[in-house]
A and B are shown apart, each in its own frame.
Chain A
C-alpha cells in the first residue's frame, strides 16, 4: 500500500529539548516536504527536498532543520523547540512529475510547553 508514515503521532515536550519527527514514504518519490497546519492559516511549507542531499527552505523554516540522506526518509528536526512551534505537522511526498498528487502522512501533533 502506498503511504507516507510519520512518527510519532502525538508528542508533548519541553522548551529547548531537541526532537526529531520521522517521515518515510514507500513510493520512490523524488519530492518530499514538511508543512505545519495552524488554525486560520492553512498549511505552510517549512522545508522541501527535490531529491537525496537536495533540500531548501520553504515559507516558514526558522527553528527547523531537515536532512535527506536516503530517498525514502525526510526527518524534521527541532534543535531547540519553543512554544510557538506547537502545531500539527504533515509530511508529504510527490513524484518528480509536475501537477501530480501529493500524498500526506497522518500528521504529528506537537505541543511544546
Chain B
C-alpha cells in the first residue's frame, strides 16, 4: 500500500533561517504529491503540489521537487518568518484514486 514518511518534529528555527522538511513515499503507481499546511486552530490548506517526476511545486517562498529516483518530495524555504509557524503534512494520491495518504506531520515553530 501507499505510505508517506516525514521528518520527525518538532522543528524550532529563528527567523530568516533555512527550513527543510524531508518527505519520502512508497506507492504502487505514479502518485501526485502534495504539501499541506495547518495553521493553529485551522484546517489544512494546500501549500503546493507536483503531479509528475521532476516537477517543482512552489508557493509563498516554499518549494518541493518530485524526485522519482529517490521517492522524495522534500519541502524547503530559504528564509522563514514567524508567520510560517504551523504543522506541515506531506501527502500523496495515486493517479487512479481520490484518497490522500498523509505523513505524520511536522510541527515548525519560528522564533523572532
Contact = CB atoms under 8 A, between A and B. Distances in A.
Chain A interface size range:
20 to 34
A98 B93 contact: yes
Nearest to B33: A99
Contacts of A37: 105
B43 A90 contact: yes
Given A48-B99, A58-B99, A42 B43 contact: no
Contacts, number: 58
A72 interface: no
B13 interface: no
A42 B46 CA distance: 15
Contact of A42 (B49, B51, B103): B103
Given A45-B99, A48-B99, A58-B99, A107 B43 contact: yes
A42 B102 contact: yes
A50 interface: yes
Chain A interface, DSSP helix/strand/loop, else mixed:
strand
Contact of A101 (B42, B46, B97): B46
Chain B interface size range:
20 to 34
B96 A42 contact: no
B89 A4 contact: no
B27 interface: no
Given A40-B104, A99-B93, A90 B44 contact: yes
6 contacts: A37-B105, A43-B102, A90-B43, A98-B93, A98-B96, A99-B93
Interface of B: 4, 6, 32, 34, 36, 41-46, 49, 51, 89, 93, 95-100, 102-105
Interface of A: 4, 31, 33, 35, 37, 40-45, 48, 50, 58, 90, 92, 94, 98-99, 101-102, 104-107
